[in-house]
Amino acid sequence: MSTASAYLTVAGIDVDVIYKNIKNLHIAVYPPLGRVRVAAPERLDDDAIRMAVVQRLPWIKRQRQQLRNAVRQTEREMVTGESHYVWGQRYRLKVVNEPGRIRFNVNGKRLTLCAPVESTPETRRKAMDEWHRAALKHEVPELIAKWQPLIGREVAKWTVRRMKTKWGSCNRESAHVWFNLELGKKHPNCLEYIVVHEMTHLLERNHNERFTELMDGFLPDWRARRDDLNQAPLRDESWSLE
């Protein structure tokens, strides 16, 4: 059975809405950025859902803060045995102490970090960030070139940077698009979804029915890619709206 979907922005928070044949409304907050998703009964309209989200804003904000705290608490030490993700694949890290610049290599299921013995965890983390940045800078131009003729708009400038609450963003007037550095850890399909999502905003600013229709036309499986990007929720809260 197909489901309808919509986007809302409530108190500056982007909310994905999925309409289903269910009795109660469910609100979930997804790692790592605190994306909010609502599964709503088909009988509810956008105003009712918006009111439900407003009423649960304190809870949503607490969940998002827990995510930020969890990220700080689980910061990688960059030592042998840790798990790291590269393009959606999980790798076990092996550290090899060698003089010279820090470098990374993927071989099979192993991610090798070559670094001087005196290098600090912070230095190694920064080196990994730059490694992911370089990978994204290699992939993004090809995706933009692929989608510009299909969408009918050109990207004037794009930037990779660390973002706390969004996977991507764009300035419709300047056609400048930003991509979250963390996308280098996700499956390539997720990166393409964000490229198409942000470029579609060059045609339609808001997360409205037209935006959803455009996305359906450009990338029919965009919902599955979005779900893969957001993965499992931190917590799911179910409650009824009369």
Where, residue-wise, is CATH 3.30.2010 in the chain?
83-203
Sign of CA dihedral 224, 230, 232, 234: negative
CA 143 to chain centre: 17
Q: What is the pTM of this model?
A: 0.80
- Alpha carbon separation from 147 to 21, 62, 153, 202, 204 (Å, rounded): 35, 38, 9, 12, 16
Q: pLDDT tens across 6-24, in order?
A: 778 888 888 988 888 899 9
* Nearest residue to 14 (alpha-carbon basis) of 23, 2, 5, 22: 5
In this model, does residue 80 exceed pLDDT 80? Answer: yes
Q: pLDDT tens across 156-213, in order?
A: 999 999 988 789 999 999 999 999 999 999 999 999 999 999 999 999 988 888 998 9
Position 27 confidence tier, pLDDT thresholds 50, 70, 90: very high
* Nearest residue to 4 (alpha-carbon basis) of 36, 40, 28, 47: 40
* CATH number of the 83-203 domain: 3.30.2010
Structure tokens at 124: 């190694």
Residue for token pair 């989200």: 53
Position 238 confidence tier, pLDDT thresholds 50, 70, 90: low
Cβ–Cβ contacts within 10 Å for residue 107, how many? Answer: 9
Position 3 confidence tier, pLDDT thresholds 50, 70, 90: low
